[in-house]
Amino acid sequence: MTTTETPAPPERPDTADSLEIRTTPVRKRLIPYWLLLPGILWLIVFFAAPLVYQASTSLQTGSLEEGFKVTWHVATYWDALAEYWPQFVRSVAYAAVATVLCLALGYPLAYLIAFKAGRWRNVVMILVIAPFFTSFLIRTLAWKTILADGGPVVGALNHLHVLDVTSALGITEGHRVLATPLAVVCGLTYNFLPFMVLPLYTSLERIDPRLHEAAGDLYARPATTFRRVTFPLSMPGVVAGTLLTFIPAAGDYINAELLGSTDQKMIGNVIQSQFLRVLDYPTAAALSFILMAAILAMVTLYIRKSGTEDLV
């Protein structure tokens, strides 16, 4: 070897090297923050700032002509709640029913895609996502046509006397579907179904098929295997799917607007009209905050109850 003959490296490059060694980790440590920056900015501009603005709006009093001023008038909250609690209850009820229906329809579908579809998997997935290619509004308007009074669906339901039963239950009125709770819940269920199916599919698809074999090997019949292995392991998907369905459904106003009547107004409709028609901004902002707090409380309770923190 010739190491002994190699001249000692000059001083200057040596110090430059050690300088670089000292600076690189600092730069490296900053990289995560740079990567976070766009997200943080986005959150500040489009979430935190409007939130603060709305909070201050909800505490203002005044009128459009005289202008609004922050007067810390907390009573707006109580007044809003006292006046619009039926719409709150209705929103939660409709959203809950729609979520349960989504789960009932979505779980078998996701199960089918994950375990039985084989080479048709992608085709079925596309069919699930396909409605997203049209706008939410148009899809909901289409349901107006589907459920129209003289339409074939209502005709068939009348013929089979289904509407007599649903009317007795109070979810439809007379011989029509439109402008009844049934129509609004149908619209919600349809519109939010993909939000249920996709997370369910993701968590079902992750389950090792050998776990099913192991359960069968350990004397579990197919139904028991589902109850003891498949369903518990799909809980993260169930929780994610129900949240992704329930939260937007509770705040939705399009379905109630297009498919319901004044008797099916949800809290979203109230907030919309307070903001855009009545122009009572403080009440609208207060209602928004109440809705947000209520959903936050319900979701927290739900996640606690379902005990899936360590499964996600």
Partner 1 sequence: MTHTETPRSSGGDVRLRGISKTYGSFTAVHPLDLTVPAGSFFALLGASGCGKTTTLRMIAGLEEPTTGTVELSGRDVTVLPPYKRQVNTVFQNYALFPHLDIYENVAFGLRRRGIKSVKKQVEEMLDLVQLGPMARRRPQQLSGGQQQRVAVARALINHPEVLLLDEPLGALDLKLRRQMQLELKRIQTEVGITFVHVTHDQEEAMTMADTVAVMNGGRVEQLGAPAELYENPATTFVANFLGTSNLIQAEVVEAGGEELLLRAGDAKLRLPARRCSAPARSGDKVLAGVRPEKVSLAHADAAGTLAEGRNRLPGRIKDASFIGVSTQYVVDVPGLGELAVYEQNIERDGRLVPGAEIVLHWNPAHTFALDADQDIDAGADLDEEAA
Phi, psi for 117 (deg, rounded to 5): -70, -25
Q: Smaller CB distance to partner 1: residue 165 or 218?
A: 218
8 Å CB contact between 303 and 309: yes
Q: How many CB atoms lie within 10 A of CB 133?
A: 8
**Angle ∠(148,98,170) on CA atoms, nearest 5:** 60
8 Å CB contact between 250 and 95: yes
CB of 204 to partner 1, least distance (A): 14
Q: Smaller CB distance to partner 1: residue 5 or 208?
A: 208
311 contacts partner 1 (rule: CB under 8 A)? yes
Q: Smaller CB distance to partner 1: residue 213 or 263?
A: 213
216 contacts partner 1 (rule: CB under 8 A)? yes
Q: Which of 126, 218, 279, 297 binds partner 1 (CB under 8 A)?
A: 218
Residue 85 to residue 286: CA distance in whole angstroms: 13
Q: Read off the tokens for 119.
A: 């080479």
Q: Smaller CB distance to partner 1: residue 152 or 209?
A: 209
Q: Smaller CB distance to partner 1: residue 86 or 232?
A: 232
CB of 306 to partner 1, least distance (A): 13
Phi, psi for 67 (deg, rounded to 5): 90, 155
Which one-letter DSSP state was computed for residue 148? -
Q: Which of 12, 28, 29, 210 binds partner 1 (CB under 8 A)?
A: 210
Residue 202 to residue 236: CA distance in whole angstroms: 9
Scan residues 220-279 and list those touching partner 1 (CB under 8 A). 220-221, 224, 228-229, 232-233
219 contacts partner 1 (rule: CB under 8 A)? yes
> What string of DSSP letters covers 165-186?
HHHHHTSSBTTB-TTSHHHHHH
Site size for partner 1, by CB under 8 A?
Answer: 18
Contacting positions for partner 1 (CB under 8 A)? 208, 210-211, 213-221, 224, 228-229, 232-233, 311
